[in-house]
């Protein structure tokens, strides 16, 4: 597996597939093209861009994305059927994810079939895809509830028939990072095959599970912009990339400075506006109010910022309100053209606190200036 920094980790962003699959979310063709272009420009290596089996319009959209001639590899989502894969071939892609239910719960209660039926489906679909020279990811739907030894069996068949990688899916978002790590390790130790991790945020652990999977040896990771996706969403692109960089010391070389721009666009196109406190890209995640923090940031931003906001396209805000200290007040008023001494600042701070408490918010610059003129 080697050191993380020496490994080639590839982001497979599925904003255009699992992201659009979010209940109520639809992208226009123009929006899909813009999203694909932006992700390609910043260096995302692979884009899962649709489900051609859905019909002519989806196929035309995938075809339009293929015609852009992006650097990123385009991959589509397919059930393990010849007709689905044929629809992908007709759309012009050279890579497919072939998805199969792998847990007994799904095999019995959803498919109403058996494990041997699943193995047969895999063989038929993979044989067809490989005859058409496609790059194939075999997707294990509901991997997190599946019997690991059955998955070893499936992966062995997949590998023998020429599949290029296996997608380990925590379809329901029910794993935690330690188990994710152990399960991915277990599979990698038994089948020499590349693994991709596909994680969901139902318990708030999509990013943590994605990182755990990578640390266990997965070389591909599924993400979506803003963590858009089924139910609580998928692992967020911006979180996974920044966590790899700052928590794991592995820089993927992606141009992160456009994260906020892309996040805002996807927020608007999906009608799912980005919360101000959203990790990494929320407008106010670099706002400082409390006395100690604001003072520390004024002295040196690295005192209270894990990374520079400019790295993702954000700006820092120093907010004056109930929890502020006099140092931040002096600093702000100086920028507004008022020189205050320590005593005056302390006096003014009491009034800032009581106004903030009464209004349940921070003070605006005009309010601060009015206060200043009154003393
Ligand atoms: Mn999913």
* CATH of residue 77: 3.20.20.70
Rounded Cα distance, 254 and 13, in Å: 13
- For residue 284, the model assigns a pLDDT of 94
Nearest to 56 by CA among 90, 31, 80: 90
C-alpha separations of 201 from 172, 174, 219, 224, 269 in Å: 8, 8, 20, 11, 21
Q: Is residue 280 part of a domain?
A: no
102 and 35 inside one domain: yes
11 and 102 inside one domain: yes
Q: Is residue 324 part of a domain?
A: yes
Rounded Cα distance, 372 and 105, in Å: 67
Q: Phi and psi of 304, rounded to 5°?
A: -130, 20
Q: Is residue 152 part of a domain?
A: yes
- For residue 96, the model assigns a pLDDT of 98
**What is the chain's pLDDT, residue by residue, as a tens digit (375 residues)?**
568 888 999 999 999 999 999 999 999 999 999 999 999 999 999 999 999 999 999 999 999 999 999 999 999 999 999 999 999 999 999 999 999 999 999 999 999 999 999 999 999 999 999 999 999 999 999 999 999 999 999 999 999 999 999 999 999 999 999 999 999 999 999 999 999 999 999 999 999 999 999 999 999 999 999 999 999 999 999 999 999 999 999 999 999 999 999 999 999 999 999 999 999 999 999 999 888 898 899 999 999 999 999 999 999 998 999 999 998 999 999 999 999 999 999 999 999 999 999 999 999 999 999 998 887
| Ligand 1 geometric centre to CA of 340 (Å) | 56
pTM (two decimals)? 0.95
319 and 211 inside one domain: no
CB within 5 A of ion ligand 1: which residues?
Answer: 18
| Ligand 1 geometric centre to CA of 321 (Å) | 42
| Ligand 1 geometric centre to CA of 222 (Å) | 9
- Count of structural domains, the chain: 2
| Ligand 1 geometric centre to CA of 199 (Å) | 7
| Ligand 1 geometric centre to CA of 342 (Å) | 56
212 and 348 inside one domain: no
Rounded Cα distance, 265 and 23, in Å: 18
292 and 262 inside one domain: no
Where does a domain end: 239, 269, 299?
269
Residues 6+ apart with CB under 8 A from 131: none
| Ligand 1 geometric centre to CA of 139 (Å) | 10
Q: Phi and psi of 11, rounded to 5°?
A: -85, 125
Nearest to 298 by CA among 316, 315, 284: 316
| SS (HEC) of 252-264 | CCCCHHHHHHHHH
| Ligand 1 geometric centre to CA of 95 (Å) | 18
| Ligand 1 geometric centre to CA of 374 (Å) | 58
How do 135-141 and 73-79 pair as beta strands? unpaired
Secondary structure element (H or E) that encloses residue 76, with its range = strand 73-79
| Ligand 1 geometric centre to CA of 305 (Å) | 32
Nearest to 248 by CA among 282, 286, 221, 288: 221
170 and 253 inside one domain: yes
152 and 12 inside one domain: yes
Rounded Cα distance, 163 and 254, in Å: 27
64 and 186 inside one domain: yes
Where does a domain end: 243, 269, 295?
269
Placement of tokens 């994305």 in the chain: 65
Residues in the chain: 375
- Tell me how crowded residue 272 is: count the other CB atoms within 10 A of its CB: 17
Residues 6+ apart with CB under 8 A from 296: 303, 304
How do 73-79 and 46-48 pair as beta strands? parallel
Q: Is residue 264 part of a domain?
A: yes
> Residue 198, SS3?
strand
- For residue 197, the model assigns a pLDDT of 98
35 and 143 inside one domain: yes
18 and 159 inside one domain: yes
- Tell me how crowded residue 339 is: count the other CB atoms within 10 A of its CB: 8
Q: Is residue 318 part of a domain?
A: yes
> Residue 245, SS3?
helix
DSSP symbols for 127-179: HHHHHTT-EEEEEEETGGGS-HHHHHHHHHHHHHTT--EEEEE-TT----HHH
26: containing domain: 4-269
Nearest to 52 by CA among 35, 76, 28, 23: 76
- For residue 1, the model assigns a pLDDT of 59
Where does a domain end: 240, 269, 298?
269
162 and 293 inside one domain: no
Residues 6+ apart with CB under 8 A from 47: 12, 13, 14, 15, 16, 36, 39, 40, 65, 70, 72, 73, 74, 75
Q: Is residue 281 part of a domain?
A: no
Q: Is residue 279 part of a domain?
A: no
Residues 6+ apart with CB under 8 A from 301: 308, 316
154 and 58 inside one domain: yes
| Ligand 1 geometric centre to CA of 233 (Å) | 8
Q: Is residue 274 part of a domain?
A: no
């Amino acid at each position: 597996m080697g050191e993380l920094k020496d490994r080639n980790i590839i982001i497979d962003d599925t904003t255009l597939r699992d992201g659009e699959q979010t209940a109520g979310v639809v992208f226009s063709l123009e929006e899909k093209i813009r999203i694909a272009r932006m992700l390609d420009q910043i260096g995302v290596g692979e884009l899962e861009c649709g489900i051609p089996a859905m019909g002519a319009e989806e196929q035309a959209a995938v075809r339009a994305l293929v015609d852009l001639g992006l650097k990123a590899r385009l991959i589509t989502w397919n059930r393990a059927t010849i007709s689905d894969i044929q629809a992908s071939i007709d759309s012009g892609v050279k890579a497919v994810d072939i998805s199969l239910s792998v847990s007994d719960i799904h095999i019995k209660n959803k498919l109403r079939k058996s494990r041997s039926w699943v193995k047969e489906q895999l063989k038929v679909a993979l044989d067809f895809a490989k005859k058409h020279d496609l790059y194939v990811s075999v997707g294990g739907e509901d991997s997190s509830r599946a019997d690991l030894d059955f998955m070893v069996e499936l992966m062995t068949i997949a590998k023998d028939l020429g599949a290029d990688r296996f997608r380990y899916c925590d379809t329901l978002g029910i794993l935690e990072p330690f188990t994710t790590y152990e399960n991915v390790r277990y599979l990698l130790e038994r089948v020499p095959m590349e693994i991709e991790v596909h994680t969901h945020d139902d318990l708030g652990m999509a990013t943590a599970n994605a990182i755990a999977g990578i640390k266990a040896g997965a070389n591909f990771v599924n993400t979506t912009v803003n963590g858009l996706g089924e139910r609580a969403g998928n692992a967020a692109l911006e979180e996974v990339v920044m966590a790899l960089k700052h928590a794991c010391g592995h820089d993927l070389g992606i141009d992160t400075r456009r994260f906020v721009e892309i996040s805002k666009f996807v927020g608007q196109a999906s009608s799912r506006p980005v919360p101000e406190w959203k990790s990494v890209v929320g407008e106010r995640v670099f706002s400082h109010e409390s006395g100690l923090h604001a003072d520390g940031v004024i002295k040196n931003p690295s005192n209270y910022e894990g990374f520079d906001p400019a790295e993702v396209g954000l700006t820092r805000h120093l907010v004056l309100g109930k929890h502020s200290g006099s140092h931040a007040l002096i600093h702000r008023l100086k920028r507004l053209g008022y020189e205050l001494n320590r005593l005056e600042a302390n006096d003014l701070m009491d009034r800032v606190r009581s106004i903030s408490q009464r209004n349940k918010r921070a003070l605006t610059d005009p309010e601060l200036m009015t206060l200043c003129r009154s003393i």
